Amino acid sequence: MCHTIGQKVVMPAHYHQIFTKFALIFKRIMRLNAKILIGLTFFVAALLLTPATIVAAHDFTVVIDPGHGGKDYGASGKRSHEKSINLGVALKLGKLINSEMKDTKVVYTRNNDTFVTLQGRANIANKANGDLFISIHTNSVDKRSRNRNSVRGASVYTLGFSKSKENLEVAMRENSVMKLEADYTTTYEGFDPSSTESYIIFEMSQNIHMEQSINAAQAIQNELISTAGRIDRGVRQANYWVLFKTSMPAILVELDFICNPTQESYMASEDGQKALATAIYNGLVDYKNATYKGAAKLAKKKSNATESSDRNKENNKENKSDEITVSDTTDTVDKDNGHETSAAEAGAITYKVQILTSPKKLPSDSREFKGLSPVKFYKDGSLMKYYFDSGSTMAEASDNLRKIKKIFPDAFIIKIRDGNRVK
């Protein structure tokens, strides 16, 4: 209770003591909270600025897709199935990445012998927000093919519409697994993997990840040759549903031909799978070093299958006749367009940027070229396909593509050898 003396209010002595103690306690609490707040601020700042956190903020996610699995055996050889080879190489590749690339996360579409739908694989990749999708397969040819037991070589595919008979047949075979699903026509929006007409959707699509996909494909293809000793069947484009539905740079690796008993034995062996996984890993290293220039440089791994690799390199030089010959796989350059192969380019593959297709021959100063020069063309059936004729290496073509896409958004890289387009 307070007492009034004249016009002043006087607080009792015990009230004053209580108030004073409360004020001291409050000051101490405020000082303690301030120290806690400052400490928390420094702690959070330290976490944000540690190298580990900086790396985590730039994690690179690789989605590894071992093709087929479960009830889907894929192509078969004399003693093994594609699904097992794909899984073996994929798991070894993932183990290498986890061991050597600390800033890289590995996501598998399957890590055991299970069946995953094509759309399911794409969904897994998209949900993981992958930075690169690598689908691993082994190749094969029809049982009626005369060179079924001798054909060999590795190739890496990116998404792209191709009229090549061989590329279309490969895509149809890989896409046909969707028929193992119930009501697949609903899931795949009426797409029929056996109908050539269905593939028109790929021609109408525009892939914003084309350049990066081609760069990754070329880097891995180079290593399949140099590290795993595979015959070079080149970087190609085909209409794979699983590449079509992934929202990231995406490639499909055909390791070699399981129908060839020699190559089947190699791919089914522990050493062969390690060499193939190492080759893909080394290609990934090159791709990351070139694409993410601010990151620490990664080192390649040596293959533990050097002997078989060297043997295959020699075979690569001597046995080009083993490759499939399909008339539709090579487009002929029109000799009237003034294109001449230089001595330096003779027999070598050069990389160019294709810009447009025309049903008729265009004059060299056509407005269709939008001022781009020099421009050449090759014939593909009744169509004239024009490309920017500058540079020869993949690096030069990639640099040209980046600039050309500003005026030709649908431009892409092609390969020319001795006046012919190589697919």
Q: Give the CA-trace dihedral at 351, 122, 252, 194, to 10 degrees.
A: -100
d(CA 331, CA 418): 11
Q: Which residue from 217, 249, 212, 215 is spatially nearest to 233, judged by alpha carbons? A: 217
Residue 197 lies in a domain: yes
pLDDT digits (tens, 9 = 90+) for 339-371: 444 444 556 788 888 888 887 888 888 888 888
Split at pLDDT 50, 70, 90, the class of 142 is confident
d(CA 24, CA 197): 85
* 90 and 112 both lie in a single domain: yes
* 25 and 159 both lie in a single domain: no
Whether 170 contacts 139, CB under 8 Å: yes
Q: For residue 211, is pLDDT > 90?
A: no
* 148 and 114 both lie in a single domain: yes
Among 275, 306, 322, identify where a domain stops.
322
Both structure tokens of 130: 């992958």
Q: Nearest-5° angle of CA 321, CA 322, CA 324?
A: 100
* 209 and 170 both lie in a single domain: yes
Whether 225 contacts 316, CB under 8 Å: yes
Measure CA 187 to chain center: 24
Torsions phi, psi for 138 (to 5 deg): -120, 150
Strand partners, 155: 254
Structure-token match 């980046």, residue found: 402
Q: For residue 134, is pLDDT > 60?
A: yes
Split at pLDDT 50, 70, 90, the class of 39 is low
Residue 21 lies in a domain: yes
Domain containing 110 equals 60-322
Q: What is the mean pLDDT of residues 50-74?
A: 73
* 318 and 345 both lie in a single domain: no
- Bridge-based pairing state of the strands 330-332 and 60-66: unpaired
* 253 and 400 both lie in a single domain: no
* 290 and 198 both lie in a single domain: yes
* 373 and 275 both lie in a single domain: no
pTM: 0.58
Residue 288 lies in a domain: yes
